[in-house]
């Protein structure tokens, strides 16, 4: 009986109860902050950008935000197609270059590298991720862009006559600030992201699968091809999509090296523009409807990156579930 | 026992399989070697730019970096030589610090909700997914968001607005990394605390958090390092200044914003300042990154 009495005393409401509720409420509201911020981003920005949205905004590639010399059309034109095109081209180049490199590094780290040097390499790759994007931009505009022009010229001379490649590798811009340069700089920046996810995915391949391949007399490459790659395909696709999302939103490095000219051209060695780049470039000189148009492009960018990220998470999660099922 | 081992070689004797590597067909050996060298090449392709960036930033930056560079005001004409980055360093420290002061409590509390209360319920899963999504929101969008929802309301560009934007960028990173660390705290600790009669909040604050603190701190420092290098939001909402502004009100600037502005200039003096600022920024970022690694490796909870 006395024991029951004491437990009753212990569980009686006391000083701690209110603190408990308060702490819980604090934590929940902190968690809610994420949802609130995301919702606010969408609502406030759409509200502000609403005047700029028109059919023209999405279908025209003419960008005449202000008309200083007065010989253009009577009113400003805000067509964003050229920027959308630039973003797509640049992030495609980045992904095409970065994916094989990242997968190679991830395989090297998980399957090939001796344990001793593994952590050193991981540190180096993390270091690559730690370099601020503006520093890559600075390096890109002052070191890379002038240096790559002869390479572009050579590629143009060699491949210029080939039907499809010829239009991709056209006459290079002499400043070197081009779609290709921006894509290559972006590729360097997304390699660490894709590598780290691919590494996690490769690490989940069950040892039994690998040992089975070894036991059948497979070489290391045959083991990777037969056991590691098929098992991790879904996860790697997710990693690639995440890298794509990061590449599309990357602003400063691209703004510096893409060359800032509004045009749609198949020539990868020409200057162009990208959605985030034009926002920071022309922000200072914008007012009124011009600002609304820039914010409108921010909304477009937000929606695209959110969708890309959701798809990537979905793909990765599905792959994870499948893998867990396979290893259990 | 001995008899079976003794007889086995005799039984296997007729066809001794040749398991040496040289017995493999040449094509398979070549494919194997080729693929391995490709993997090594991939690593080289990634490390060469890293080495070049570090080399150029260090060599070009060291040429301009001295004590005066760190404290002097920014010249108000880009073509003028001399001057320094004092205001930008002040702005970087102030704005990043303010952003951290806002994002850390919110982020850690949020991660406590996810790991200690919400666990796998619908709300927690939603918050988890949404913070992953928020991690992917481009920094320029965050800058626009703060412009629309804060700068337009108070009608003033300021360091505080930039801190708000950086805080929003740090928040999801801190939530997710802290949650991973809280997950590593063994349940036995929570049960022991509960058995001693501690309330849940008491358990969390005095048992769970201290156990995970080193991991949380290292995640936070990585988030700070990343925020210090963010450029776009600062360019959009902070305005600019040529003299140090040690308050959160009014126009301000950061190293990253100054690099962006000076890198696009055709004048060698401006480009030199950009390199100097880049070296300063890299050092700040590296200090935080290395400190984060040291803390997490020195005081890590042993993974089970």
What is the per-residue DSSP string for A78-124? E--HHHHHHHHHHHHHHHHHHHHHHHHHHHIIIIIS-HHHHHHHHHH
Cα–Cα distance measured from residue B252 to residue B231, given in angstroms and rounded to the nearest whole number: 13
**pLDDT interval class at B83 (50, 70, 90):** confident
B207-230: burial string, b at 16+ Cβ within 10 Å, e else: bbbebbbbbbbbbbbbbbbbbbbb
In a domain, B17, yes or no: no
In a domain, B46, yes or no: no
Q: Which residues of B touch A44 (CB under 8 A)?
A: 145, 148-149
Residue B303 has pLDDT above 80, yes or no: no
pLDDT, position B189: 92
Q: Which fold has domain A52-327?
A: MetI-like fold (1.10.3720)
**Cβ atoms of residues B111 and B175 within 8 Å:** yes
Looking up tokens 């011009």 gives: A290
**Which residue from A105, A221, A252 is facing B36, i.e. has the nearest CB?**
A221
CA distance from start to end of chain A = 49
Cα–Cα distance measured from residue B269 to residue B296, given in angstroms and rounded to the nearest whole number: 41
Task: Specify the range with the lowest mean pLDDT, choosing from A6-15, A57-66, B29-38, B132-141.
Answer: A6-15
Decide if A37 and B168 are in contact by the 8 Å CB cutoff.
yes
- Interface check for B38 against chain A (CB to CB < 8 A): the answer is yes
Q: Which residues 107-136 of B have a C-beta within 8 angstroms of A?
A: 107-110, 112-114, 116-118, 123-124, 126-127, 129-136
Residues with Cβ < 8 Å from A261, sequence gap 6 or more? Answer: A270, A271, A272, A273
Decide if A128 and B46 are in contact by the 8 Å CB cutoff.
yes
In a domain, B131, yes or no: yes
**Which residue from A34, A139, A220 is facing B130, i.e. has the nearest CB?**
A34
* Minimum distance, in Å, between the CA of residue B105 and any CA atom of chain A: 9
For residue range B170-191, what is the model confidence (pLDDT) as tens digits? 999 999 999 999 999 999 999 9
Closest by alpha carbon to B181, among B116, B256, B250?
B116
pLDDT, position A11: 54
Q: Which residues 109-128 of A have a C-beta within 8 angstroms of B?
A: 112, 121, 123-128
Of B236 and A167, the structure prediction assigns the larger pLDDT to: B236
Closest by alpha carbon to A222, among A327, A319, A111, A100?
A111
Q: Which residues of A touch B133 (CB under 8 A)?
A: 38, 306, 309-310, 313
- Interface check for B42 against chain A (CB to CB < 8 A): the answer is yes
Residue B54 has pLDDT above 80, yes or no: yes
Cα–Cα distance measured from residue B231 to residue A61, given in angstroms and rounded to the nearest whole number: 27
CA nearest to B256 within chain A: A134
**Cβ atoms of residues B131 and A37 within 8 Å:** no
3-state SS assignment for residue A133:
helix
The interface predicted TM-score of the complex, written ipTM, equals: 0.87
Domain coordinates in residue numbering, chain A: 52-327
pLDDT, position A6: 52
Residue B68 has pLDDT above 70, yes or no: yes
- Interface check for B168 against chain A (CB to CB < 8 A): the answer is yes
Decide if B145 and A44 are in contact by the 8 Å CB cutoff.
yes
**pLDDT interval class at B304 (50, 70, 90):** very low
* Minimum distance, in Å, between the CA of residue A187 and any CA atom of chain B: 9
Q: Which residues of A touch B42 (CB under 8 A)?
A: 100-105, 108
Closest by alpha carbon to B95, among B247, B240, B223, B281?
B247
Cα–Cα distance measured from residue B22 to residue B18, given in angstroms and rounded to the nearest whole number: 9
Cα–Cα distance measured from residue B258 to residue B74, given in angstroms and rounded to the nearest whole number: 9
Cα–Cα distance measured from residue A6 to residue A12, given in angstroms and rounded to the nearest whole number: 10
Decide if A137 and B260 are in contact by the 8 Å CB cutoff.
yes
**Which residue from A31, A221, A294 is facing B35, i.e. has the nearest CB?**
A221
**Which residue from B38, B50, B281 is facing A127, i.e. has the nearest CB?**
B50
Cα–Cα distance measured from residue A151 to residue A141, given in angstroms and rounded to the nearest whole number: 16
Q: Which residues of B touch A141 (CB under 8 A)?
A: 263-264
- Interface check for A189 against chain B (CB to CB < 8 A): the answer is no
**Which residue from B110, B140, B175 is facing A276, i.e. has the nearest CB?**
B140
* Domain of residue B172, residue span: 86-298
**pLDDT interval class at B2 (50, 70, 90):** very low
Of A59 and B196, the structure prediction assigns the larger pLDDT to: B196
Tally of domains within chain B: 1
Looking up tokens 């999405």 gives: A58
Looking up tokens 């997490």 gives: B296
In a domain, B226, yes or no: yes
CA nearest to B240 within chain A: A284
- pLDDT < 70 positions in chain A: 1-16, 67-74, 323-328
**Cβ atoms of residues A185 and A144 within 8 Å:** yes
- Interface check for B175 against chain A (CB to CB < 8 A): the answer is yes
CATH at B210:
1.10.3720.10
Count of C-beta atoms within a 10 Å radius of residue B27? 8
């Amino acid at each position: 009986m006395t024991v029951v009495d004491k437990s009753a005393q212990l569980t009686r409401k006391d000083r701690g109860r209110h603190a408990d509720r308060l702490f819980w409420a604090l934590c929940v509201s902190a968690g809610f902050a994420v949802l609130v911020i995301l919702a606010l981003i969408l609502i406030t920005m759409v509200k502000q950008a609403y005047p700029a949205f028109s059919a023209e905004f999405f279908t025209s590639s003419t960008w005449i935000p202000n008309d200083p010399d007065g010989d253009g059309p009577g009113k400003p034109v805000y067509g964003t197609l050229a920027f959308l095109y630039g973003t797509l081209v640049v992030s495609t180049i980045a992904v095409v270059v970065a994916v094989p490199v990242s997968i190679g590094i991830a395989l090297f780290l998980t399957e090939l590298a001796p344990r001793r040097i593994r952590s050193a390499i991981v540190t180096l790759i993390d270091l690559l991720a730690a370099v601020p994007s503006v520093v890559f931009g600075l390096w890109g505009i002052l070191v890379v862009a002038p240096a790559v022009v002869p390479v572009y010229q050579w590629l143009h001379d060699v491949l210029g006559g080939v039907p499809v490649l010829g239009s991709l590798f056209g006459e290079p811009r002499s400043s070197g600030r081009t779609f290709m340069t921006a894509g290559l700089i972006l590729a360097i920046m997304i390699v660490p992201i894709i590598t780290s996810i691919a590494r996690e995915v490769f690490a989940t391949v069950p040892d039994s699968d690998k040992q089975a391949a070894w036991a059948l007399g497979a070489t290391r490459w045959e083991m990777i091809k037969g056991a590691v790659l098929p098992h991790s395909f879904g996860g790697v696709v997710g990693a690639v999509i995440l890298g794509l999302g990061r590449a599309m939103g990357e602003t400063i490095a691209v703004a510096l090296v893409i060359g800032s000219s509004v045009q749609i051209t198949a020539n990868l060695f020409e200057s162009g523009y990208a959605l985030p780049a034009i926002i920071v470039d022309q922000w200072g000189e914008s007012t009124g409807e011009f600002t609304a148009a820039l914010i409108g492009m921010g909304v477009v960018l937000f929606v695209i990156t959110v969708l890309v990220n959701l798809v990537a998470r979905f793909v990765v999660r599905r792959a994870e579930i499948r893998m867990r099922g396979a290893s259990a | 026992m001995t008899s079976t081992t003794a007889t086995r070689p005799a039984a296997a004797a007729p066809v001794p399989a040749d398991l040496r590597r040289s017995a493999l067909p040449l094509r398979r050996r070549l494919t194997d070697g080729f693929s391995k060298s490709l993997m090594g090449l991939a690593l080289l392709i990634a490390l060469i730019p890293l080495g070049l960036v570090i080399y150029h930033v260090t060599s070009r930056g060291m040429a301009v970096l001295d004590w005066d560079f760190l404290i002097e005001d920014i010249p108000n004409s880009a073509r003028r030589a001399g001057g320094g980055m004092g205001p930008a360093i002040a702005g970087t420290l102030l704005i990043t610090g303010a952003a951290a002061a806002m994002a850390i409590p919110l982020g850690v509390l949020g991660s406590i909700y996810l790991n200690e209360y919400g666990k796998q319920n619908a709300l927690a899963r939603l918050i988890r997914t949404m913070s992953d999504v928020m991690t992917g929101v481009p920094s320029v969008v965050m800058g626009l968001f703060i412009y629309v929802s804060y700068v337009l309301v108070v009608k003033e560009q300021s360091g505080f607005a930039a801190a708000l934007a950086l805080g929003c960028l740090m928040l999801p990173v801190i939530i997710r990394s802290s949650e991973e660390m809280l997950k590593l705290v063994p349940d036995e600790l929570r049960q022991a605390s509960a058995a001693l009669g501690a309330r849940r909040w008491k358990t969390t604050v005095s048992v769970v958090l201290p156990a995970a603190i080193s991991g949380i701190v290292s995640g936070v420092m990585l988030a700070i390092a990343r925020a210090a290098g963010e450029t776009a939001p600062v360019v959009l909402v902070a305005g600019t200044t040529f003299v140090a502004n040690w308050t959160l009100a009014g126009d301000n600037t950061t190293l990253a914003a100054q690099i962006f502005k000076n890198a696009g200039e055709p004048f060698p003096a401006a480009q030199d300042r950009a390199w100097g600022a880049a070296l300063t920024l890299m050092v700040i970022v590296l200090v935080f990154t290395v400190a984060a690694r040291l803390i997490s490796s020195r005081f890590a909870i042993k993974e089970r």
